Amino acid sequence: MEGPTAYHNLRGPSPIVWAMRTGLAPPPPLTDPPPLPAVPPPLPPPQPERRRRGRPRNCDGLPPPPGFFVSPPAPSQAPTLPAHGKRQFGGLQPHVLQIVAGEEIIPKITTLSKINGRAICVLSVLGAVQEATLLLSSGVTSNYKGPLEIICLFGSILTSNDHGCLRVTLASADSSVIGGIIAGPLIAATPVQVFSDVETC
């Protein structure tokens, strides 16, 4: 019986008894703590926007962005050069000489200069020659027999008494190429056409 009594004596007074002894108001009874504010759930991660394929709607009537489209320039007329006489352009009159086989080419060109009394510029020659005398770059004058195809012939004759400086490039039947300044007879082997311009002013 002593055990429970001793155990009973070890117990503290109740709050009401303790308040009566001390003259203080009893402590308020323990209550549950206030609930914490609710935390909103996390937002889901943003999904990438998918672009639709094809041309967007209602985009035909939109104006073009500035600086993207450039309007084509207005057509301009080519400047006209002064002409002198019929079929003359810029002080030069074109001529086409027809030379038959067996004739010398250079005298035909100089004859045209004597008739007009003007300088002549030889642009191109079509045909073949059977004989050519050329001054090579080494300073040696050499004579060649043909037929030799004319690859190009050009130069100018400034006065009617001048043979001018005409250069020619020829090709032989074995595909070898020779060239130099015309220093002698240049005899046509086939009909030859000479395209030239004659000064008119």
In a domain, 130, yes or no: yes
Specify the number of domains making up the chain: 1
In a domain, 156, yes or no: yes
Q: What is the pTM of this model?
A: 0.52
Domain that includes residue 169, residue range: 92-199
In a domain, 118, yes or no: yes
Q: Which of 106, 80, 83 is nearest to 93 (CA)?
A: 83
**Has residue 38 got a pLDDT over 90?**
no
In a domain, 16, yes or no: no
What tens digit of pLDDT does each residue of 157-187 get? 876 566 668 899 999 988 899 999 999 899 9
What tens digit of pLDDT does each residue of 42-75 get? 777 777 777 777 666 666 566 666 555 556 666 6
In a domain, 5, yes or no: no
Domain with 142 in it: what CATH number? 3.30.1330.80
Q: Which residues make Cβ contacts (< 8 Å) with residue 192, sequence separation at least 6? A: 98, 99, 105, 125, 126, 127, 128, 129, 150
pLDDT at 27: 61
**Has residue 82 got a pLDDT over 50?**
no
